[in-house]
Amino acid sequence: MLVDTERAYRAVAARDARFDGCFILAVRTTRIYCRPSCPAVTPKRRNAEFYPTAAAAQAAGYRACRRCLPDAVPGSPEWNLRADLAARAMRLISDGVVEREGVPGLAARLGYSERHLTRVLTAELGAGPLALARAHRAHSARLLIETTDLSLTEVAFAAGFASVRQFNDTIRSVFAATPSALRAKRSAPGAAGRIVLRLPYRPPFDAAGLLGYFRASAIPGVEHVTDTTYARSLRLPHGQATVILTPAAGYVSCSLRLTDLRDLGSAVNRVRRLLDLDADPRAVDEFLGDDPTLRPLVAARPGVRLPGSVDGAETLLRALGHTSPGEALDVPDGPVTHLYPAPSAIDSPVAAALADGSLVVDVGRDTDDLEAELAAFPGVGPDIARYVVMRVLGAPDVPLHNDNAAWRPWRSYAAMHLRRSA
């Protein structure tokens, strides 16, 4: 993932927010790293360095800017565009796999040795899996510090740190501030039992299209959709959760209620993927808008997003017609009262394969491999396979209905435009 330094510097000089999350600006003289749109004075070209990830900048000895908060931006759309090892690893790291299973577990999921995985990630992203996971933990910790009343010791372990000392050292290293100093500058915390976050996106954002999509297939009890919000239950690695999502100008308000705070990072990552918040809609719209068939559709509904997935197994089973709610939540959250059933509670060959691990549908899968495996599975077939790949992996170039080569590499988005117009 090489950064075009001249193009990157022009984006920084223009303070172009479209590039926030796509790369990191590091300033040699201050030893601070920033998002491209940081309002600080643009550094001289000779003092500017560029990194593909915050973890790479941290590994080089830079600290996060406390003015522009470079970790609080949309993620790089690279992770959805690319299907290589580095992109698959980043998706799993963001979902908290390293915290739960360690680097050996991450490597096993990807089918490579730890040594090879570390070599590839260091070459591609400027940091190995441990450094990338450390950056992820630091971001989760900052969210908990600034949005909850948890003690700092509770924050440390909820964010995935092995000790309070490791937590303190990491926060000082990354943010050039102590945890207590970050807490002193926080905004008011959310209501008791809730964490309320702002999830940024790159405009434009077709919120109405996503809400309409989710409303059309909502399962009562598991989901609740209004004209302005989408709420649902989540089955996360450490417990149950509920989320209420409310689109606003420049961000989506995300109100989370978690059984176990260790699931914060995973919940935020899954919600971002569900709403396709890391997409670059201008690039998509500019390309598809050149096509005579799609031009009026793009003009009428700019910023169409791909509806994603919070759970690969659920997405596959729902596509196969399993649309009944599962067990009741321990604590209902308004109209959201139930979880979607676990695969082990559904009687079908696909559910049995998901339950015993012989079929894995998650963000770490290779696009072509997953599509081929699903298409060949009895009772699934190629149409459902392509649909699941598009939603679970956020694959942007899946031909769902019309295999028009002129729409590559955005055929998934073209299909969503056609669906919206219908």
Matching residue, tokens 């190629």: 382
**How far apart are the C-alpha atoms of 279 and 284, rounded to whole Å?**
9
How crowded is residue 402: how many other Cβ atoms within 10 Å of its Cβ? 11
Evaluate the CA torsion angle 350, 352, 354, 357 in order and state its sign: negative
Angle between helical axes of 312-319 and 381-393 (0-180°, round to 10): 150
Residue 104 sits at φ, ψ, to 5 deg, of -60, -40
Give 357-362's long-range contacts (Cβ < 8 A, gap of 24+): 360/312, 361/312, 361/313, 361/315, 361/316, 361/388, 361/392, 362/92, 362/95, 362/109, 362/312, 362/392
- Residue 403 a catalytic site member: yes
**How far apart are the C-alpha atoms of 204 and 202, rounded to whole Å?**
6
- Residue 169 a catalytic site member: no
**How far apart are the C-alpha atoms of 214 and 192, rounded to whole Å?**
28
Catalytic, out of 34, 38, 65, 68: 34
The beta-strand segments (E) located in 92-218 are 195-200
Using CA atoms, how far residue 210 sits from 223, 392, 415, in Å, is 14, 15, 14
Catalytic, out of 149, 290, 356, 403: 403
Q: Which amino acid is at 264?
A: L
**How far apart are the C-alpha atoms of 270 and 60, rounded to whole Å?**
29
Q: Is residue 391 within 8 Å of residue 315, measured between CB atoms? A: yes
Using CA atoms, how far residue 295 sits from 152, 203, 282, in Å, is 52, 18, 13
Q: Which residues are catalytic?
A: 34, 403
